[in-house]
């Protein structure tokens, strides 16, 4: 089946980036959220990010105009019923994702492929709550989507080969690179990345270093382009905590226990860049460490 129309659920950090790259690659995109404000912000951000690509001569002004014209938005989930591929990129909470799929499935055509951009939740379990586990896959983009080259493709236990091949072709059409991962908690990238970020938070919690010295150490001492705490703020501390909880519960190993300081930041609503404060305070001209 040729994929032409793509539904994206959730217009947050990931959803807007996913809509951006699909529209630029020639797909028609229907972007859905429960918040009109999120949809408005997403469109404004896509416009800004496309403009940046134009000013850097990466794309033409014509390509930008055409991409924007391919994106429509809706608060009404059943409007995604006629799409060929759905990418769910809503909040990282299993109950939220399950409810979305339950509401959406009755409106879908039988051939539509369903995917989730979840960072950690079991694809097999999400798929089992739908009417099409063989046409369900993990489709894990990296943040920021227009910049990052990798897409993890995660087969659930029931995913069939045509579905895998169809998504592999989509990744190629986007000009990105696919890596296949098995359906175990947090897949490949986050299975390795999140325990490192969590360990950086423990290093802060135990007073081994402060925010600045920890980030500088990993940038200058391990050649990482961003420090782990800066990166955590970029990803979102709520998402980091949710992934650690999935690793902890799913692998039943205490080495994945989330750092209490990470929990405290999330309790405070200091979720990183998206709320203006996390391990750094972004409300002034330059980010200022909060510890
Ligand atoms: N942030 C990252 O670096 C990153 C990277 C890869 C994957 N992911 C995954 O992508 C997903 C989204 O993460 P994000 O960082 O974009 O989160 P976010 O908080 O920026 O955005 C989530 C959006 O989902 C919307 N939403 C919540 N419930 C909804 C519903 N029932 N229907 C429609 N929309 C709904 C919210 O209004 C919000 O706009 C998560 O599963 C996350 O694990 C995140």
Nearest-angstrom CA–CA distance, 278 and 201: 12
CATH topology (fold) of 190-289: 1.10.1040
Distance (angstroms) between ligand 1 centre and the Cα of 39 equals 12
Sign of CA dihedral 50, 97, 152, 80: negative
92 is in an annotated binding site: yes
97 is in an annotated binding site: yes
Bridging pattern class, strands 85-88 and 71-74: unpaired
Residues lower than pLDDT 70 in the chain: 1
Active site residues: 119, 140, 152, 190
Nearest-angstrom CA–CA distance, 277 and 261: 14
| Residue ranges of the chain assigned to CATH 1.10.1040.10 | 190-289
Largest alpha-carbon pair distance within the chain? Answer: 56
| Structural contact between residues 145 and 11, judged by C-beta atoms closer than 8 angstroms | no
Q: What pLDDT digit, counting tens, does each position of 130-186 carry?
A: 999 999 999 999 999 999 999 999 999 999 999 999 999 999 999 999 999 999 999
221 is in an annotated binding site: no
For ligand 1, residues with CB inside 6 Å are 9-15, 32-35, 38, 89-92, 96, 100, 117-119, 140-143, 235-236, 239, 274
Nearest atom of ligand 1 to the alpha carbon of 143: 3
Nearest-angstrom CA–CA distance, 78 and 150: 30
The total of other beta-carbon atoms located within 10 Å of residue 267's CB is 9
| Residue ranges of the chain assigned to CATH 3.40.50.720 | 5-182
CATH class, 5-182 region = alpha beta
Name the closest-CA residue to atom 3, ligand 1.
235
14 is in an annotated binding site: yes
Ligand 1, from 30, 35, 79, 90: best to mutate by most atoms within 8 Å of Cβ? 90
Name the closest-CA residue to atom 33, ligand 1.
33
Nearest atom of ligand 1 to the alpha carbon of 243: 43
pLDDT at 120: 85
């Amino acid at each position: 089946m040729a994929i032409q129309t793509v539904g994206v659920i959730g217009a947050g950090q990931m959803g807007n980036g996913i809509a951006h790259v699909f529209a630029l690659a020639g797909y028609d995109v229907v972007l859905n959220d429960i918040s009109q404000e999120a949809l408005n912000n997403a469109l404004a951000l896509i416009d800004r990010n496309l403009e940046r690509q134009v000013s850097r001569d990466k794309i033409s002004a014509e390509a930008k105009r055409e991409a924007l014209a391919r994106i429509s938005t809706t608060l009404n989930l059943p409007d995604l019923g006629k799409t060929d591929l759905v990418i769910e990129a809503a909040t990282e909470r299993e109950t939220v994702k399950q409810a979305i799929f339950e509401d959406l499935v009755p409106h879908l055509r039988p051939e539509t492929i369903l995917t989730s951009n979840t960072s950690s939740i079991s694809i097999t379990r999400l798929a089992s709550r739908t009417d099409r586990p063989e046409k369900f896959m993990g489709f894990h983009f990296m943040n920021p989507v227009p910049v990052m080259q990798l897409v993890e493709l995660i087969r659930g236990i029931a995913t069939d080969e045509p579905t895998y091949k169809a998504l592999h072709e989509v990744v190629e059409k986007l000009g990105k690179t696919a890596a296949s991962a098995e359906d175990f908690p947090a897949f490949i990238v986050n299975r390795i990345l999140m325990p490192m970020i969590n360990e950086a938070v423990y290093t802060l919690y135990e007073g081994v270093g402060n925010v600045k010295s920890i980030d500088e150490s990993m940038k200058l001492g391990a050649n990482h382009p961003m420090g782990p705490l800066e990166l955590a703020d970029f990803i979102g501390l709520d998402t980091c905590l949710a992934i650690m909880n999935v690793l902890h519960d799913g692998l039943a190993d205490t080495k994945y226990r989330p750092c209490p300081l990470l929990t405290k930041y999330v309790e405070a609503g200091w979720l990183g860049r998206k709320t203006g404060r996390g391990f750094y305070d972004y409300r002034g001209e330059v980010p200022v460490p909060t510890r």
